[in-house]
Amino acid sequence: MVIEAVKLSVSYDNTQVIKEVSFTLAEGVVAVVGPNGAGKTTLLKAISGLVSYAGSLKIMNKDLRDFSAEERARLITYVPPLVDVMPDMSVGDLILSDPLVSKELLEEYIELFELSSLLKRRLSKVSSGELSRALLAKGLSKNSKIVALDEPLSHIDLRFQLILLKHLRVLSKGGKLILVASNQLNPLLSYVDRVVALKKGEVVFTGDVASFLRSSTPERIYGVKFEVVFKDGYVDIIPRELA
Ligand SMILES: Nc1ncnc2c1ncn2[C@@H]1O[C@H](COP(=O)(O)OP(=O)(O)O)[C@@H](O)[C@H]1O
Ligand SMILES: [Mg+2]
Q: Per-residue DSSP letters for the chain?
A: --EEEEEEEEEETTEEEEEEEEEEE-SEEEEEE-STTSSHHHHHHHHTTSS--EEEEEETTEEGGGS-HHHHHHHEEEE-SS----TTSBHHHHHHT-TTS-HHHHHHHHHHTT-GGGTTSBGGGS-HHHHHHHHHHHHHTT--SEEEEESTTSSS-HHHHHHHHHHHHHHHHTT-EEEEE-S-HHHHTTS-SEEEEEETTEEEEEE-HHHHHHSSHHHHHHSEEEEEEEETTEEEEEEEEE-
Residue 87: its pLDDT value, please?
82
**pLDDT band at residue 86, thresholds of 50, 70 and 90?**
confident
Instruction: Return the ligand 1 atom nearest residue 36 CA.
Output: 23
Residue 155: its pLDDT value, please?
97
Give the number of whichever ligand sits closest to the CA of residue 82.
2
Give the number of whichever ligand sits closest to the CA of residue 149.
2
Smallest Cα–Cα separation from 224: which of 213, 203, 239, 212? 239
CA of 36 to the centre of ligand 1 (A): 9
Topology (CATH level 3) of domain 3-83+142-242:
Rossmann fold (3.40.50)
Instruction: Return the ligand 1 atom nearest residue 34 CA.
Output: 22
Smallest Cα–Cα separation from 125: which of 93, 166, 171, 90? 90
**pLDDT band at residue 83, thresholds of 50, 70 and 90?**
confident
Instruction: Return the ligand 1 atom nearest residue 42 CA.
Output: 17
CA of 204 to the centre of ligand 1 (A): 18
Give the number of whichever ligand sits closest to the CA of residue 43.
1
Cα-based distances in Å from 191 to 91, 165, 187: 29, 6, 7
CA of 105 to the centre of ligand 1 (A): 33
Residues near ligand 1 (Cβ within 6 A): 12-13, 17, 34, 36-42
Residue 120: its pLDDT value, please?
97
Residue 66: its pLDDT value, please?
96
156-167 average pLDDT score: 98
Mutation pick for ligand 1 pocket among 41, 78, 204 (CB with most ligand atoms within 8 Å): 41
- Cα–Cα distance between 66 and 110 in angstroms, integer? 34
- Cα–Cα distance between 131 and 125 in angstroms, integer? 10
Instruction: Return the ligand 1 atom nearest residue 18 CA.
Output: 14
Instruction: Return the ligand 1 atom nearest residue 39 CA.
Output: 17
Tens of pLDDT, residues 57-76: 999 999 999 999 999 999 99
CA of 34 to the centre of ligand 1 (A): 12
Residue 84 has pLDDT above 90, yes or no: no
Burial 147-181 (b: 16+ CB within 10 A, else e): bbbbbbbebbeeebbebbbebbbebbeeebbbbbb
Residue 85 has pLDDT above 80, yes or no: no
Query: Domains of the chain: which residue ranges?
Result: 3-83+142-242
Tens of pLDDT, residues 182-208: 999 999 999 999 999 999 999 999 999
Tens of pLDDT, residues 88-140: 999 999 999 999 999 999 999 999 999 999 999 999 999 999 999 999 999 99
- Cα–Cα distance between 158 and 239 in angstroms, integer? 18
